[in-house]
Chain A
Amino acid sequence: MSAVAQGWLIPALTALVAALFLASLLIGPAAISPGESLRALILGDAGPLTVVMREIRLPRAILGLLVGAALGLSGAALQGYLRNPLAEPGLIGVSGAAALGAVIALQTGLAAAFALALPLLALTGAVAAVSLLLLLAGARGGALTLILAGIAVSALAGAATALVLNLSPNPFAAAEIVFWTMGSLADRSFTHVGLAAPFIMLGAALLLTLGPGLDALTLGEDAAEALGAGLTRVRLVLVAGVAAAVGAATAVAGAIGFVGLVVPHLLRPLVGARPSRLLPASALGGAAMVLAADIAVRLILPERDLKLGVLMALVGAPLFLHLIYRTRRDGGEGLR
């Protein structure tokens, strides 16, 4: 039964992502027919439609794909490593620290003076979080140490972000910061794509190598180590991969939660719960979820700039509660 399901899952998810990517290109406030849009995108006529397609919708769709894949893949890798279905990229403090970097860029006016300051500072935050995490959890710290260190880093980043808001000299800056932390893909350009893509691809390449190690960890740390998993390397690759992928995603899109939590949870039964198979599936699933949500914010309240992160939390949190309820009813496996 499960073998059949696993055979078509990746092609089906790929087709879904492709369809949503296309839909993301074709749906927007400017009402243009699909054929016209695609002609303008591919052939190019130097008219305003080509500019809309190439400079606004294409980078937005690409970012949706990249950010979603980064979040989904990181969530699957973290859950596999911590053997805990409640883990998510925000847990080890990378999202929080990246957001702090971005908030500092907004607060100090650097972001206004220099467009790349915001993403660069966000990435710096992610790297700082990872360094602090390695210092706290050490090279041989177990899963529990990593969770505790992550909670500490998250709390610290959250407090520093609140401090920046607290000391904000004018309400407009504070409002800008608050809106940014809600997460969005609106008004992004190819500059953002160029900044995020290399980091997200590097992070994804690292995380996708973790399959065998995460599979071995199903048996616990001792058995995995005795199976030759090399947990020190697994931990370093995991933290570096998550920092690069989630740091870059947060840098260009702000804080978007629940993707890394819900996507692996939804897909786990479809891959026979095997962590290595969950990695590529969650990357595709995350891309599909973020692309779909980004289309939804354009359709639901086109005039009000509904934030992607807000919609994701509104949909994701109840969905996640339902998942927890169902898992509990089935005997609570995996939620110990």
Chain B
Amino acid sequence: MSLLALDRLRVERGGCPVVDDVSFAVAAGECIGLIGPNGAGKTTLMRAALGLERHSGGSSLAGLRPAARARMAAFLPQARQIAWPVDVETLVGLGRLPHAGGGDREVVTGALRRMGLEGFRYRIATRLSGGEQARVLIARALAQEAPLLLADEPMAGLDPAHQIAGMEVFSGLAAEGRAVLMALHDLGLAARFCSRLLLMHQGRLVADGPPDAVLTEANLARVFRIRAFRAEGPDGPVVQPVAVLEGEA
């Protein structure tokens, strides 16, 4: 079942295309990494897919009424905002706003447990460290219980243990029949945990497929201007960028 379908999605700013004719579909069970250098259009793509950005072309989510869309897709923006000193339980409970009806407390408890935050339930969210706040906000998105989760660099600023744990939570969601589309900069995490990668370059989708088919030497050189050490380890693929390439492609 398709949870998101983009058809020739295009976003222009000042006459320049920021997202240029991007089409793809997200099926249930997929854990997709959206990769690309800074300014490739990853964030704009996600915002336009949700209908938060003026665009042409089609997105299956953008046409929905706000409340219906919120039950279809949860969005974790890159900017981690917590405006008021509310406790963690209240903040995570905001994910329940699109849902009318009970069971909220159980859902919040489940989301906190998934992110290893049980002990933080009554702490004031704004007094937590940056990484802890990031995990609380991920728990908030989990509590929304939408079939599709769009996350913009969810692992930025997390320590290695929580990065791995977080990626395991996301691939676990996919294994349960939900789907995750996340912008990522860590190619190693992308290679190990994603079932599919979308590579963006200058607003266009230039590669789409399983990690080993996308993270080729040619793609890394052309799009990221890097060379990477790539190997198959006992725990899965290893991709470690090692050098910046000089000169023009």
Question: Which A residues have a C-beta under 8 Å from some C-beta of B?
Answer: 1-2, 83, 212, 215-220, 222-223, 225-230, 268, 272-275, 331, 333-334
Residues on B with C-beta less than 8 A from A334 are 83-85, 126
Distance (Å) between the CB of A196 and the closest chain B CB? Answer: 31
Q: Are B94 and A2 in contact (CB under 8 A)?
A: no
Residues on B with C-beta less than 8 A from A229 are 66, 97
Q: Are A272 and B97 in contact (CB under 8 A)?
A: no
Please, which residue of chain B has its CB at the minimum distance from the CB of A333?
B126
Residues on A with C-beta less than 8 A from B84 are 83, 218, 268, 273-275, 334
Residues on A with C-beta less than 8 A from B95 are 227
Q: Are B94 and A218 in contact (CB under 8 A)?
A: yes
A-B pairs with the 4 shortest C-beta distances?
A228-B70, A220-B81, A226-B75, A83-B83
* Cα–Cα distance between A174 and B74 once the two chains are bound (Å): 58
Residues on B with C-beta less than 8 A from A331 are 127
* Cα–Cα distance between A217 and B81 once the two chains are bound (Å): 9
* Cα–Cα distance between A201 and B71 once the two chains are bound (Å): 34
Let me know if B237 is at the binding interface, CB within 8 A: no
Identify which of residues 63-94 in chain B touch chain A, using a CB-to-CB cut-off of 8 Å.
66-71, 73-77, 79, 81-87, 90-91, 94
Let me know if B47 is at the binding interface, CB within 8 A: yes
Q: Are B66 and A230 in contact (CB under 8 A)?
A: yes
Q: Are A227 and B94 in contact (CB under 8 A)?
A: yes
User: Given that A226-B75, A227-B144 are known contacts, is A273 also in contact with B52, CB under 8 Å in the complex?
Assistant: no
Residues on B with C-beta less than 8 A from A217 are 83
User: Given that A226-B52, A226-B75, A228-B66 are known contacts, is A219 also in contact with B137, CB under 8 Å in the complex?
Assistant: yes
Q: Are B85 and A226 in contact (CB under 8 A)?
A: no
Residues on B with C-beta less than 8 A from A225 are 50, 52, 66
Q: Are B79 and A227 in contact (CB under 8 A)?
A: no
Number of interface residues of B (CB under 8 A): 35
* Cα–Cα distance between A225 and B98 once the two chains are bound (Å): 11
Residues on B with C-beta less than 8 A from A227 are 70, 94-95, 97-98, 144
Q: Are A228 and B98 in contact (CB under 8 A)?
A: yes
Q: Are A219 and B94 in contact (CB under 8 A)?
A: yes
User: Of A2, A222, A230, A272, which contacts B47 at CB under 8 A?
Assistant: A222
* Cα–Cα distance between A33 and B214 once the two chains are bound (Å): 88
Let me know if B140 is at the binding interface, CB within 8 A: yes
Told that A225-B50, A272-B90 touch, could you supply 8 new A-B pairs with CB distance under 8 A?
A218-B86, A220-B79, A223-B77, A223-B81, A227-B94, A228-B70, A272-B87, A274-B90
Distance (Å) between the CB of A80 and the closest chain B CB? Answer: 8
* Cα–Cα distance between A212 and B127 once the two chains are bound (Å): 23
User: Given that A215-B94, A272-B90, A334-B85 are known contacts, is A226 also in contact with B126, CB under 8 Å in the complex?
Assistant: no
Distance (Å) between the CB of A7 and the closest chain B CB? Answer: 15
Residues on B with C-beta less than 8 A from A333 are 85, 126-127
Distance (Å) between the CB of A292 and the closest chain B CB? Answer: 27
Q: 14 A-B Cβ contacts within 8 A?
A: A218-B81, A218-B82, A218-B91, A219-B83, A222-B77, A222-B79, A223-B75, A223-B77, A225-B50, A226-B75, A227-B70, A227-B98, A228-B67, A273-B85
* Cα–Cα distance between A98 and B221 once the two chains are bound (Å): 63
Residues on A with C-beta less than 8 A from B150 are 226
Distance (Å) between the CB of A276 and the closest chain B CB? Answer: 10
Q: Are B87 and A2 in contact (CB under 8 A)?
A: yes
Q: Are A216 and B94 in contact (CB under 8 A)?
A: yes
User: Of A216, A223, A226, A273, which contacts B86 at CB under 8 A?
Assistant: A273
* Cα–Cα distance between A2 and B122 once the two chains are bound (Å): 9
Identify which of residues 20-75 in chain B touch chain A, using a CB-to-CB cut-off of 8 Å.
47, 50, 52, 66-71, 73-75
* Cα–Cα distance between A274 and B95 once the two chains are bound (Å): 14
Residues on B with C-beta less than 8 A from A223 are 75-77, 81
Residues on A with C-beta less than 8 A from B90 are 272, 274
Most buried by B among A1, A219, A230: A219
Q: Are A274 and B127 in contact (CB under 8 A)?
A: no
* Cα–Cα distance between A154 and B77 once the two chains are bound (Å): 34
Please, which residue of chain A has its CB at the minimum distance from the CB of B61?
A226
Q: Are A272 and B98 in contact (CB under 8 A)?
A: no
* Cα–Cα distance between A230 and B52 once the two chains are bound (Å): 11
Distance (Å) between the CB of A239 and the closest chain B CB? Answer: 19
Residues on B with C-beta less than 8 A from A273 are 84-86
User: Of A216, A220, A226, A272, which contacts B74 at CB under 8 A?
Assistant: A226
Residues on A with C-beta less than 8 A from B85 are 273, 333-334
* Cα–Cα distance between A230 and B98 once the two chains are bound (Å): 11
* Cα–Cα distance between A268 and B86 once the two chains are bound (Å): 10
Residues on A with C-beta less than 8 A from B76 are 223
A-facing mask of B212-244, CB < 8 A → 1, else 0? 000000000000000000000000000000000
Residues on B with C-beta less than 8 A from A219 are 77, 81-83, 91, 94, 137, 140
